Structure 1
Amino acid sequence: MHPLVKLVLIVVIVIAAVVIWGRVMGRKDPDRELVGLTDTVRARVSREISAGHKINAIKIYREATGAPLSDAKRAVDGWFVPGQGPGVRDAAASFSEGRLTDEGRARISELIVAGRREDAMSLYSEATGASGAEAQAIIRTWDTTQNY
């Protein structure tokens, strides 16, 4: 083999090794603790998705979980589908987990009865951290006859 070809081959191998090493080891911060999918993180991801900022939502998800880009993108892509997905479960869980106060529930029911569904959705979003789409799904099925 010609010496110049050997040199080019060695340089290519060294560059490939440096790039791979940088991708595998360079982005890990050993001092940073992952917070996981807390209610606050879920609310931030939901707000970014509803605002149409999918890239920011993926970034927030990755920072909290340490997930690879492909997994974070897949999670954000499936975050809210009407009737399924973690967003709906999180929004619906606000009833059982007490994130929505009795006063908030009563006020939402009053707004729905008065025909002010948009205001009810806004209030629900603020109280629970749900996205606009999640709030719409919950308010659409809200039963004003029950005493939540």
Structure 2
Amino acid sequence: MPPLVKLVLIVIVILAAVVLWGRVMGRRDPDRELVGLTDGVRARVSREISAGHKINAIKIYREATGAPLADAKRAVDGWFVPGQGPGVRDAAASYTEGRLTDEGRARISQLILAGRREDAMTLYAEATGASGSEARAIIRTWDTTQDY
């Protein structure tokens, strides 16, 4: 085999190894602490998706969880899909029909019982499209024992 062909093959193998190593290791910063999917992160991702900024939502998800791009995209694509996504499911239907999904109601009730009314207001506003003052009024009178 001619030396030039050997050199080209060696370069190709080295490049393949570098690309594979980059994909496996990703762009991880070992000093950065991952916060995970906290309520604040979920709210930010939901807000970005609702605004039509899917790329920003994927970026926020990846920064919080350290997930690879493909996994983060899959998670954001299924964020509001009933029975699958971690966000308040069926947010668009909740807004147009004037109701929350069962998961949304349960999560809001949990937040209120835990004394986290601000988070409950944020979640209600994002799920229904209500303004901040409307969400505040609803959460102020929310009955956690009633099945809305």
TM-score (norm 1): 0.65
Root mean square deviation of aligned Cα: 3.1
Aligned length, in residue pairs? 118
The equivalent residue for 1:135 is 128
Q: How big is the shift at 1:83?
A: 7.4
Instruction: Give unpaired runs (5+ residues) of structure 2.
Output: 90-102, 144-148
Name the amino acid aligned to 1:135: T
Q: Identity of counterpart residues, as a percentage?
A: 70
Relative contact order (C-alpha < 8 Å, sep 6+): which is higher? 1
Structure 1 segment 25-104 matched on structure 2, within 5 A: 25=25, 27-81=27-81, 85-88=85-88, 91-92=104-105, 93-98=107-112, 99-100=116-117
Name the amino acid aligned to 1:87: G
Name the amino acid aligned to 2:109: F
| Distance of 1:94 and 1:126 partners within structure 2 | 5
Change beyond 3 A, Cα 1:41–1:80: same
Answer with 1 or 2: which has the greater Rg. 1
Q: How big is the shift at 1:131?
A: 6.3
| Distance of 1:2 and 1:131 partners within structure 2 | 69
